[in-house]
A and B are shown apart, each in its own frame.
Chain A
Amino acid sequence: MSHESSDLKIPIQQHTLENGLKIILSPDTTAPIVTVAVYYHVGMRLEPQGRTGFAHLFEHLMFQGSAQMEKMELVKRVQENGGTLNGSTRTDFTNYWEVLPKHTLELALWMEADRMRGPRITDIELDNQRDVVKNEIRVNVLNRPYGSFPWIDMPGLAWNNWHNSHNGYGDMVDLDAASLDDVNEFFKSYYSPSNAALVIVGDFEVDEAIKMAETYFSDIPSITPPEIPNMDELEWTQERVFEKEDALATKPALAISYQVPQRNSPLYFAMGLLDQLLLQGDDSLLHQELVVKKGLTGHIGGGINFLGHMFNSRTPLLWTSSLIYDETTDSDEILEAFDKVLTGVLNEHISPEILERITLKMRSSFYDIFAGSSYPGFGRADLLASFALIDGNAERVNEIDSLFRAVSLDDIYNAANEYLSSEKRTILKIIPGLSNQTQEVS
């Protein structure tokens, strides 16, 4: 049979309201449902210093009531109309979404517009959600082994710029310090239609949906958000090695991070393919060397962007590999095997066959983002919002395939040599121990 590739063609219409709200519509009649997602262009990187975790806490507060809805009423409305919902906080965004039967689209837009006008909360709701967020951090970080490894630990050690390095999930002391004044200030600065995107995916009429969005969102006043601070990082010129004790861990672990090329720069897409070549899947070179050939670990994992993938964050970002191994194995043995793989890619061009394979893998895993979420339509909405807010054009989603296909053997070689040499990396070793101390060892 022929292997003519079926290209991805996501239907997209874009529209901007006078107040600056970007609207992206992507109809799909696969099922009688709609996904409504509102993305605010503020995430962990922009929260105030001394208030780590504030963007995340604020996300929780957006479910605690607004002008026309009581605490949790939005959740109630979504559920009683047959829908499901969630929110999340990432490096550059905070997002809120619902998936609902198609006939409730207008209600979903009304609710999102109502909370875009601002949360209506008191200290009671703030204190309650502070406790909830603290319990979230306990269950996912503090009360389990390897809880902050490497997703919180590594940025904290590798990055020099506070915006990139601080713990955006939340520090207990900073969470305690958060006040209603902080809530108002943060809202006024960043939660504005001009700093947001509304995405609708699913079974709806485009013209009707635009009309509805105009009805509910167009009178929301807009402000100009503060200028984005400098988030650049210095180029690394010397390998750094850190050791951290994890009181709950019983086995050592290792993470190795490199900076990736700037988003959309010529080598950025080559880096995406290098990730496929080196780290993703059982055919990846690191898996075959460290897991299959040497038996040093059962799994080596990682990738680009701890809180998502290479498409839904701005750079700077890290490309990180991490693994847990036995206490009888020396970490030098792991690094030696790791370096053997990296050196191969740094010294020689990969073959055209391998380039073809990793390009196919990339395409396949890119498609999985659309189908893979437990919230139907959300994967697509997330990509559309990311391309709209970061790159200024949601249509870019249909160009990604061809951008990866344009990567050459030279690009792969050059990206490896510019970004993956050993002096340009940060290494973190987790030592099973009694305390939670960290130290730089070289």
Chain B
Amino acid sequence: MIPEPKVLTPKPFVLPNVDKWETSNGLSVKFVEVGIIPKAYFLLSMKFGSADELNSQVWIYRLISDYLKEGTIDLDGNQIADKAASLGGRFDVNVDDDHLTISGSVLTEFSTEFIELIGNIVKNPRFPTESLSRLRDDLLRDLELMKVQPSILASATFRQALYGNSGYGLSLSTPEIINNFSTQTVINSYRKFANPHETKLYVAGMFDQEILKEAIENTFKEWSGSTSDHIERALPESSRKIHLLDRKNAEQSTLAIGLPVITPSDKNYVPLVVMNALLGGSFYSRITLNIREDKGYTYSPRSMIASHPTSAYWFETADVTTNVTGASIEEIFKEIDLIRDTKPSMEELNGIKNYVSGSYIMRHTTPGAIIGQLAFLDLHNLDESWAKNYIADVVALNPSDIQQIAKQYLDPSIMTIAIVGDGELIKEEIASFAPVEEISVESLSP
């Protein structure tokens, strides 16, 4: 046996240098040179998303994200795809609750041509009428496929329980809505919000800063676009209730248990992150050690904080064997009670503090992670000092802070419980945790 080595002392971590600037028409750009792989990674993020959809137009921005690939004034969709490929580039267009994004990567030597192509798509989308029915068919197919995936259904059920029939609460569209989408609606919905002032561009990896800066300025300087009022974001509410979506013969129950919490701009957010990592947000966390490593009820339990600019929620999710659905819920609440009732030991807390600090360092090492981190800061309007002080804020916590945070924010008496599972087999045992409301897949759409 060779004895364990002593671990040395870490050196303070220095954040990578971010070059921030704006184009002459107000597009915000952030550059980070990092790594030794000759590629540049991009994210262009426009500030509108599915939360800006009317209930009569749910998924219009999903349609637009597909539609943007269909061509520009001077290139058709195939020509765009060929052009990107000939640069060693690829890109995806995606929409989330608050953003429409174009993300991708390109070989370093073709960075400028690639940014010109992305700029062309953003400025001059063609939205050809002949693509409409095919893209609607794709959405209809996606809708049917999403309706049978338990993980998607559990997340949709949970979000609807919190946000109701608002943008954040409606995950699924309907065939009627999709079939009603017209090219004119697409054009109007895109033009309504696409503008340089509310758009951010991030580039990380290997590239020539000076040359790319010039290309970005030249590409975007004549983009004007308009801005409009966004739909007011709903605030989440929660009460102790089970929202059950019946899925006959399910081998597992898919659980999501949680409630609204504070957003990253709150001073208690970093302590909440540390508390979450200790409770369920890491492999060596209490809930995971309990329901996976001790009892074997599940494979991938995890807890997390999901955040929007105006609201956030914490939840624990797990796919548990059907016959231990009640037992799993009981153990999850036991762990929540324990962290609220008892301070963690200094040793446990120190371990988790190092884990959270280390994870923060990891988020500043690869191009994709760095872009994600910068976009997170922008999403929540967090300034440089937030990023700089993060590790110090983590290190400063003591055991009673963690207990206090759990007490303040994880009140089990108002936690929403979403379950997708075999109602007939589990209904009786889950009824002891909260009143049960059965919902249908259809109710997840407007």
Contact = CB atoms under 8 A, between A and B. Distances in A.
Interface string B216-253: 00000000000000000000000000000000001110
A2 B206 CA distance: 16
A145 B250 CA distance: 11
Given A82-B357, A250-B148, A370-B37, A135 B321 contact: yes
B300 A139 contact: yes
B284 A144 contact: no
A324 B144 CA distance: 11
Contacts of A68: 1, 4
Contacts of B90: 281-282, 361, 364-365
B418 to A, nearest CB: 16
Contact of B300 (A129, A136, A376): A136
A326 B141 contact: yes
Contact of A135 (B13, B110, B142, B252): B252
B425 to A, nearest CB: 13
B138 A138 contact: no
17 contacts: A6-B206, A8-B37, A10-B36, A30-B36, A32-B361, A79-B352, A84-B359, A103-B9, A106-B5, A107-B5, A110-B4, A110-B5, A139-B298, A143-B252, A282-B77, A282-B80, A367-B39
Contact of A361 (B85, B151, B321): B85
B321 A138 contact: yes
B396 interface: no
B249 to A, nearest CB: 8
A3 B36 contact: no
B88 A298 contact: no
Nearest to A73: B284
B366 A139 contact: no
B354 to A, nearest CB: 5
A398 to B, nearest CB: 12
Contact of A83 (B296, B321, B352, B358): B358
Interface string A1-31: 1111111111000000000000000001011
A2 B112 CA distance: 11
Which of A76, A82, A99, A106 has the most chain B CB within a 10 Å cutoff?
A: A82
Contacts of B206: 6
A318 B435 CA distance: 51
A283 B85 contact: yes
Contacts of A67: 1
Contacts of A231: none
A83 B356 CA distance: 9
B149 interface: yes
Interface of B: 1-2, 4-5, 7-11, 13, 34-39, 41, 69, 77-78, 80-82, 84-90, 105-110, 112, 133-134, 137-138, 141-142, 144-145, 147-151, 205-206, 211, 250-252, 282-284, 289, 292-300, 319-321, 350-352, 354-355, 357-359, 361-362, 364-369
B141 A251 contact: yes
A134 B250 CA distance: 14
A131 interface: yes
Interface in A128-151: 128-136, 138-139, 142-145
B82 A357 contact: yes
Which of A7, A9, A101 has the most chain B CB within a 10 Å cutoff?
A: A101
Contact of B293 (A128, A282, A365, A368): A128
A80 interface: yes
A356 B85 CA distance: 10
Contact of A367 (B37, B78, B149, B293): B37
A363 interface: yes
A134 B90 CA distance: 37
Nearest to B34: A30
A80 B283 contact: no
Nearest to B249: A247
Contact of A143 (B37, B251, B351, B359): B251
B2 A113 contact: yes
Interface in A236-287: 248-251, 281-283, 287
Given A326-B141, A371-B367, A79 B283 contact: yes
Given A75-B283, A135-B296, A136-B299, A364 B89 contact: yes
A248 B248 CA distance: 10
Given A6-B38, A31-B365, 8 more contacts: A31-B364, A33-B361, A80-B284, A84-B359, A85-B283, A106-B8, A139-B319, A251-B144
Nearest to A2: B109
Contacts of B81: 281-283, 287-288
B10 A326 contact: no
Interface in A219-241: 219
Contacts of B350: 80
Contact of A101 (B82, B292, B358): B358
Contacts of B282: 79
B299 A135 contact: yes
A75 B107 CA distance: 37
Given A80-B350, A357-B86, A368 B39 contact: yes
Contacts of A32: 10-11, 13, 361
Contacts of B10: 32, 82, 101, 103
A437 interface: no
B141 A135 contact: no
A4 to B, nearest CB: 6
A370 B107 CA distance: 13
Contact of B289 (A72, A133, A251): A72
Given A5-B107, A103-B9, A364-B39, A129 B250 contact: no
Given A250-B145, A281-B85, A127 B296 contact: yes
Contact of B82 (A7, A216, A283): A283
A215 interface: yes
B78 A288 contact: yes
Nearest to A216: B2
Contact of B358 (A100, A250, A281, A287): A100
Pairs of residues from A and B, 4 with the lowest C-beta to C-beta distance, nearest first = A82-B358, A131-B296, A80-B351, A364-B88
A71 interface: yes
A248 B81 CA distance: 34
A81 interface: yes
B361 A363 contact: no
A143 B284 contact: no
Interface string A64-107: 00011001100110011111110000000000000111011011
A142 B250 CA distance: 9
Given A80-B355, A107-B5, A298-B141, A371 B361 contact: no
B82 A132 contact: no
Contacts of B84: 281-283
A281 B106 CA distance: 13
B69 A132 contact: no
B107 A364 contact: yes
Given A281-B85, A361-B85, A368-B105, A81 B354 contact: yes
Nearest to A64: B293
